[in-house]
Amino acid sequence: MAKKRILVLFGGASEDHELSLRSAYYVLNGLSSSEYDVIPVGITKAGRWLYFPGDYNAVRDGTWETDPDCCSAILSPDPLHRGLIKLLEDDSSHSLQRIDVVFPVLHGKYGECGQIQALCKLSGIAYVGSGFSAANACADKMLTHLLLNKAGIKTAKYYYIERVDIDEIVARFDEIEETVNYPMYVKAAVKSRSAGTNIAENREELKSAIKLAFSHHHKIIIEEPLYGRVLECIVWGSVYKLNVSAVAETADNFELIIPAEIDESVINEIENTAKTAFMALGCTSFAKMSFKLTENGLYCCKVSNVPGFGKRGIFAMLMEDGGYPYSEMLDLLIDSAKEA
């Protein structure tokens, strides 16, 4: 049986470039060489695509793009090609390599928002993870709030502003304060994970935080913080059969507890809510669900369609707890790749 050709896409032109490199290092090493022909392609911080044939350790330490054997590469949008075009000898010649599955290990604005998924769709190549519309819904926190609330899932109180409203921000302060209590979390609606969320304790800080958030994106979200236990789980499968992992808790000392020590009724609520959220956002294949259990009940905080793939990360550890060691987890994700 012929090996599947897996294009592992890593790096990216976002603040989460280094996070992507760490995730990709584990994915590249975890894919079985007897089952897959692995094709590593990195995207530099400047947005350049490079085929990388070197040692995977260079991906982890960030020196991969200086490898002399790197060459420019393009994922062709033409479904006739269904593959990667390598540009050789100062871009004067090229070769085409067919691809079976693209595995995007890209975090942040240009990897989780749907652009890569849409390119794969145009290319006619199957890809790991949710489709472009679900990816956008997970990445855009305003859409996440709207869709989850419509499905009956509680989220933090929030207020939404676009950059076109900047001239009337001061006039909106009364309305904002009626909707969200101080302290307020102010952040870009679509942002990189490493771009900080600013906290506003009063109007002056709110004004500054709004200005800073608009430097990251044209839409911002102002949220009321939630206080409680941090609980997470994984959902994977299809609309015909959704699976939910054990529930993990991240303790105050950042220790990960699997399974979380919570009542069975709460576990059932999390499982049902996670499935509902998965469907409401249009996710396919898999997603990581983050919740806060507060004195006022359970709130959904985040749905990640491209979670961290570190070997000791929450995603991998929950899947291992469910019977999928790291390499088998990768097999499962590739087998569930969305047909373009």
Angle between helices 203-214 and 169-179 (to 10 degrees): 110
> pLDDT (tens digit, 9 = 90+) per residue, 296-313?
999 999 999 999 999 999
pLDDT confidence of residue 168: 81
Work out the burial of residue 297: count CB atoms within 10 Å of its CB; fewer than 13 is exposed, 13-18 middle, 19 or more buried. exposed
Length of the chain: 340
pLDDT confidence of residue 32: 95
192 confidence band (pLDDT: 50, 70, 90)? low
pLDDT confidence of residue 34: 93
pLDDT confidence of residue 56: 97
pLDDT confidence of residue 194: 55
306: left (phi over 0), alpha (psi -120 to 50) or beta: beta
pLDDT confidence of residue 193: 65
